[in-house]
Amino acid sequence: MKPIIPAERLNSISEYYFSTKLKEVADMNARGMNVISLGIGSPDLPPSRETVEALCQSASESNAHGYQPYVGIPELRAAFANWYQKWFNVELNPANEIQPLIGSKEGILHISLAFLNPGDGVLVPNPGYPTYSSVSKLVQAKVLTYDLDENNHWQPDFDALEQMDLSNVKLMWVNYPNMPTGASATPELFEKLVAFGKKHGIVIVNDNPYSFILNENRLSILQVKGAKDICIELNSMSKSHNMPGWRMGLLASNAQFIEWVLKVKSNIDSGQFKPMQVAAIAALNNSEEWHREMNVNLYKTRRHLAEEIMKTLGCTFDKSQVGMFLWGKISDKYKNSGELADKVLYESKVFITPGFIFGDKGDHYVRISLCANEKMLAEALERVKQLPVAGQQ
């Protein structure tokens, strides 16, 4: 039999880190090791009661189970537009400036397919979300990393960017509030990014799913005058509305960019289940009190415990971080983040994320997820306290 060989594009990527590592954690748990996972950012509480009720009611209707429009139902696009107006003071035309997505991760692929030809350059942050690089490689674009540095508040160095050969760069990924570092954006940063994109003809994509978590200063790059001409913003209900498995997100930009992305999307999926769209509308109307309780008060308590874990591990961190993770710099006694993360996993049975998976600029950092209840975080803290020489520099 002639051997079957996969596409060459698979040679440029590997299986997602969490996909492989969580298999190992699952195997350890199957052997009775009771690993506490502080790795991924999957909210552990349900959406609002109104969200679930809307889903159930809509799902009971006989006409709710057919194919849906590729652009989402009009009521959902209107709800997204109202949400952006309320929380970000950004005006969007629901008819042609919003595209609902099956989660923002889907949007990364669709944007890449819509804008990048093989060989085109794409600017990817280091450290940064691994999917930006892997999807760029899958579409055979040329990944050009730009460094984010703690001493520059994890913001791009525009002088360094101007020294790069940008002649073939089509797309730039940015992510504020930042993951994994928790750094916030500023209006000045977004203004610089918009000006940079316009100067070089580079589409700036801000991935913005963390703006509600432990964050009172919600910003959108689309707040900048003229931003829609050159920018796209991705947003998601996974983190802010406790809906990670629902896969509800959106893409916002100018009508032309939306049309190009829709050309890709409409050839890949067949729309989202209508009851989930109806439920998303209910979630988008959550009260300010619900968001404060879920996204501020809840995570504030968890964050305190995560900080104690970091201190116990001898890590330092910036207390001004926002989002649902805590990013910490490891002690010099460890050669890299992988060494510390494995030590914590195998000796304390606590899974934390090594920063190297976000790029070599993250190699001396680790990340702790706040998506575990207080009891689990407290137990994790007690476990790491038992590590030999825990907390010693």
Secondary structure, 3-state, 94-134: CCCCEEEECCHHHHHHHHHHHHCCCCCEEEEEECCCHHHHH
Nearest residue to 84 (alpha-carbon basis) of 273, 234, 203, 297: 234
pLDDT digits (tens, 9 = 90+) for 368-393: 999 999 999 999 999 999 987 554 44
Give percent of the chain above pLDDT 70: 99
CA 347 and chain centroid, separation: 29
CATH of 8-46+289-385, one of 3.90.1010.10, 3.90.1150.10, 3.40.390.10, 3.90.79.10: 3.90.1150.10
Confidence of residue 23 (pLDDT cuts 50, 70, 90): confident
Choose among 329, 338, 328: nearest CA to 369.
328
Q: Is the pLDDT reported for residue 128 higher than 70?
A: yes
Distance CA 295, CA 141 (A): 36
pLDDT digits (tens, 9 = 90+) for 64-104: 999 999 999 999 999 999 999 999 999 999 999 999 999 88
CA neighbours closer than 13 Å in the CB half-sphere of residue 110: 28
Query: 209, 362, 386, 378: which is closest to 307 by C-alpha?
Result: 378
* 26-41 burial code (b ≥16 CB/10 A, e <16): eebeeeeeebbbbbeb
Q: Which CATH architecture has domain 67-284?
A: 3-Layer(aba) Sandwich (3.40)
- Neighbour count for residue 6 (Cβ, 10 Å): 7
Neighbours of 53 (CB within 10 A): 12
**Furthest C-alpha separation in the chain:** 64
Token digits of residue 76: 């959902």
What integer best gives the mean pLDDT of the chain? 94
CA torsion sign, 133 to 352 to 45 to 222?
A: negative
**Which of 137, 134, 204, 140 has the alpha carbon at shortest distance from 166?**
204
Give this prediction's pTM. Answer: 0.93
- Tokens in use for 251? 């893409």
Q: Tell me the per-residue pLDDT of 358-367, one tens digit each, with 9 for 90 and over.
A: 999 999 999 9
Look-up of token digits 């700036």 = 204
Q: Per residue in 213-262, pLDDT tens?
A: 999 899 999 999 999 999 999 999 999 999 999 999 999 999 999 999 99
Residue 10's pLDDT band (cuts 50, 70, 90): confident
Higher pLDDT, 83 or 22: 83
Q: Which residues of 99-138 are buried (b: 16+ CB within 10 A; e: fewer)?
A: bbbbbbbbbbbbbbbbbbeeebbbbbbbbbbbbbbbbbbb
Domain spans of the chain? 8-46+289-385, 67-284
Name which of 21, 84, 370 is nearest 235 in CA terms.
84
**Structure confidence at residue 162 as a pLDDT band (50, 70, 90):** very high
